[in-house]
Structure 1
């Protein structure tokens, strides 16, 4: 339907049902002012301007029109300034018309103007990401680092580069997981109710693996209330212990001051030993451990605590309260697995369910022939209670019980320790 403000006088009007019934001629009315209020209701029976403006009209065919009867229509000369306010009294003359009712006809709200395509803002550190080095330059394939691929690469004069093999690729992925960015200090506690399962050995080897693969400062603290032997796993550089560190706490202002109380191995792991006298170390309370931890976490990114077997000792409460993740160590034997499971039971009964669910179970010193113990059932048991379960194979160098050097470990043992470090590093707090 087209709107005409200047209808043609005398043109026949079609009925709404489409029939061509003739009607009386349309009377031309003078222009009305829409900006003023509508006139008051009168007794005049003259058709209002609203009907004159919105009446459907058909003009008489012009001499040049085609035979089909197509009639040219006249458009409105100007759009009236519609009043959007709602009428409050009786309507007569010129009612207020809501233009949104004819939105599709006038190109209103139902036909919004086209919006420009969304373009996300570039990252703050790069105004033009498409001009980065990785986008403009073809990245060279890293050369192989071992095996026959490395030999072929060298014999061909570095022309044949097949890239890393599956084993090297897996190791590189583990190293990338271990090197996750770290915010603050990440505290790891290693514990077990049973002695002789290799808890101190796992503490030293895990800490050395972190120190060799990451650039952070890594320290292992002997939190055993009895005589611990963590200080014997690294070359002894000082006879100072955690007791001396607490005694001189007021004089420590920088990292070099703390370094005088620790011993360091070739991987970069530092160890803060406990007092060799069991009578003195028994006085190491929860407050002492908290003070030592608050001092060390200002200078180190990773802190490992080698706990004793006594879960009821006062220092253990501070260890559990300050730990981000627990590593429960077991041996590949029935009594070792039962002791590790009892450790988890004790933690759950004393309100540490979150630490148990986020803990990592380690089955240590697994020999190629483990006898009649079904390791798969051990793994299934701890998998239902812990976040991950990991096996560390038996290694002759670790069986010696002396200072540990990562270079002397077998390839399988170093790979297993790297996998363990990658699993533990999944909980690192990062930005």
Structure 2
């Protein structure tokens, strides 16, 4: 029987086998480098799946040809994907958005709810909207009511709130995953909501939510407004397509300018809400192009949200019931807001 080499039965060293050192090349000889290990990622092993176009005749042609003819995505689909990617920009800390208007009836609460719902349904993190209206706000009516708790109850129990599940007891959530923290239904109580109260509320929410929208009242001198403006990362000013709506929105910017908030005005976003389409330019009673031009000169961006029958109902917001043009306008508004996220360069989405 042949003798077994000693190295076959030798114990493994406690610190592992010594590394193999490369043999110095001799003159005139060349040893090729060993091939690298194969990447075992999903893409490397399975390849990138071909999806083909997602909409329209391009999708039909791709499927009917068995995938042999791929005309690529339409420009509209490409832009939609760009907007979605912008909205999904990661956030390392809470981003706070103040929704303002000095005039009631322009759809400020509706824009708050739909913008928040668009963020919540598109992003993968938590989004909450706070009703800071002192005159019995209606933000809680935009989602199914899950609790009778309000911001006042949250403040009362604030010392015992240590986790997201604790906060969730005070909010209501819609199908979009947007959560709403309601205001007091009794105006006599809600008037007492002070700047300190808002600051304490925000201290809790920004621990558990990536985006916080604040639906402010129409009064710019309300006690909580100073705290809202101090802590806001972005300002969205809502106007209707009417003359008085545009004037009120412009007056809101004037007030902010006059009270040392020029930085907020310069980076603000103006929203012209509920503009009805006209078949002919001569049918328009208000020249929206001039309204857009006015706010473009004062704000970082201007977005238009068209009239939508579902939103006119004034009930709970269901994104699935919106017209495609409305959904796309809200996605563009959310992407425009997201361009202001910390560390994000101002991309061109057009």
TM-score (norm 1): 0.68
| Distance in 2 between residues matched to 1:149 and 1:306, nearest whole Å | 42
Of 287, 292, 300, the match for 1:379: 292
Find the aligned partners of 1:425 and 1:141 in 2 and give their Cα distance.
30
Alignment length (residue pairs): 304
User: Which has the larger helix fraction?
Assistant: 2
- 1:251, CA displacement in angstroms? 0.9
Structure 1 position 135, deviation (Å): 10
Contact residue 142 and residue 163 of structure 1 kept, 8 A:
no
Per the TM alignment, residue 131 of structure 1 is displaced from its structure 2 partner at its CA by 12
Structure 1 residues 286 and 197: CA distance shift in structure 2, 3 A = same
Which of 310, 315, 324 lines up with 1:402 in the alignment? 315
- CA distance in 1 between counterparts of 2:41 and 2:147 reads 50
Counterparts of 2:126 and 2:307 in 1: how far apart (Å)? Answer: 28
Distance across 2 between alignment mates of 1:143 and 1:244: 51
Give the equivalent residue in structure 1 for 2:336: 423
C-alpha distance in 1, partners of 2:67/2:275?
41
Match of 1:204 in 2: 113
Asked whether 1:247 is paired with 2:156, we answer yes
1:146 aligns with 2:55: yes
Q: Which residue is equivalent to 2:186?
A: 277
1:182/1:430 contact within 8 Å kept:
no
Say yes or no: does 1:335 pair with 2:247. no
Work out whether residues 326 and 360 of structure 1, in 8 Å CA contact, stay in contact via their aligned partners in 2. Answer: yes
Q: Select 1:367's aligned residue among 276, 279, 282.
A: 276
The CA distance in 1 between the partners of 2:160 and 2:179, in whole Å, is 20
> What displacement does 1:134 show?
8.6
1:365 to partner: Cα distance: 0.1
Q: Which moved more, 1:366-375 or 1:397-406?
A: 366-375
Structure 2 CA distance for aligned equivalents of residues 340 and 224 of structure 1: 17
Q: 1:191 — aligned with what?
A: 100
Which of 1 and 2 has greater Rg? 1
Structure 2 counterpart SS, 1:427: coil
Which residue of structure 2 aligns with residue 163 of structure 1?
A: 72
Shift of residue 137, structure 1, vs aligned partner: 10
Match of 1:353 among 234, 237, 262: 262
> How high is the TM-score relative to the length of structure 2?
0.83
Separation (CA, whole Å) in 2 of partners of 1:149 and 1:317: 52
Counterparts of residues 31-430 of structure 1 (less than 5 Å): 142-369=51-278, 371-430=284-343
Could you tell me how far apart the structure 1 residues matched to 2:275 and 2:40 are? 52
2-structure distance, mates of 1:281, 1:416: 33
Unpaired stretches in structure 1, ≥5 consecutive residues: 1-126
SS in 1 for 2:339: helix
1:240–1:273 Cα contact (<8 Å) kept: yes
Please give the secondary structure, in 2, of the residue aligned with 1:312. coil
Per-residue deviation, 1:322: 0.6
SS where residue 271 of structure 1 aligns? strand
Please state how far the C-alpha of 1:163 moved relative to its aligned partner. 2.3
Paired with 2:242 and 2:58, the residues of 1 have a C-alpha distance of 41
In structure 2, list runs of 5 or more residues that go unmatched.
1-35, 345-350
Does the Cα contact within 8 Å between 1:225 and 1:315 map onto a contact in 2? no
